[in-house]
Amino acid sequence: MDGTLVDTEVLWWETAAEVAAGLGHRLGDADAPEVVGRAVQDTAAHLVRVAGTGDAGRVADELAGSFFRRVEEGAPLRPGAQRLLAGLERAGVPFALVSASPRAVVDSVVAGALADVCFAFTLSADDTVRTKPHPDPYREAADRLGVAPGVCVAVEDSPDGSASAQAAGCAVLVVPSLLPVPPAEGRYFAESLEDVDLAVLRACVNGPLADPRTDLPAGPRTDAPTGPPADPRGRPAAE
């Protein structure tokens, strides 16, 4: 959701910077891996650790509350998001929202910027024991869709989100936002969701698909189905 479908990563960074300043710490590039794509509790623990002061529980509450207020004021869609989701819906491809944000934030975004989207369901950080970068959220999503993770495509923008989906066994289509995501087997890349359609998502599972950053074949996943492309209606997706 954040940074993939809606442009909320900047709002999250602004929130973390504000809270960090209150603890006497100036947020910088070195903090990015512990902020971008991370759950509220993870970022709170990091800020308390680097600031050397504060209570992680109270900092997490402050982060969540401040971020929620910013999201409530408006979270614009990322370029290409509406077109891609509408195309999946027309094709009858089930898709779900898998987020490391708290339930209150997910519900706010779904009721706002994503109000016209028919997700099969949404998963928040509150819905699994462990959230991203652990595989639990994407495993749970595949289970709810009633399919194996290997026939799902996760569309992600962050290193932690990509690691979560890949550890769960999903193909991963990376559309980076604030942080670069390193190449790895089973990861495919696009510059923008404007470059993504149903054929691209199918190719992520069936391979090979060219990596637009290098113009070289990224190659199929080692556990991807073989043979001709499947009916697109049988390929679930998760973002």
Average pLDDT over residues 94-102: 94
Q: Which of 77, 101, 80 is nearest to 12 (CA)?
A: 101
- Dig out the tokens for 52 from the structure: 């050397």
Domain spans in the chain, listed from the N-terminal domain onward: 9-72, 81-238
Q: What is the pLDDT of residue 208?
A: 56
Q: What is the pLDDT of residues 48-78, one digit of tens each?
A: 999 999 999 999 999 989 988 888 887 889 9
pLDDT above 60: residue 217: no
pLDDT of residue 219: 38
Domain 81-238 in CATH: superfamily?
HAD superfamily/HAD-like (3.40.50.1000)
Contact, 154 vs 239, CB < 8 A? yes
Residues whose CB is less than 8 angstroms from the CB of residue 138 and which lie 6 or more positions away in sequence, other chains included: 98, 149, 152, 154, 164, 165, 167, 168, 169, 170, 238
The half-sphere exposure of 88 on its side-chain side, counting CA atoms within 13 A, is 26
Mean pLDDT of the chain: 85
Q: What is the pLDDT of residues 170-191, one digit of tens each?
A: 999 999 887 889 998 889 999 9
With a threshold of 0.85, does the pTM exceed it? no
- Helix then strand count (H, E) for the chain reads 8, 8
Look at residue 179 in the predicted model and tell me its pLDDT. 80
Residue 218 to residue 143: CA distance in whole angstroms: 27
Residue 104 main-chain phi, psi, to 5 deg: -60, -40
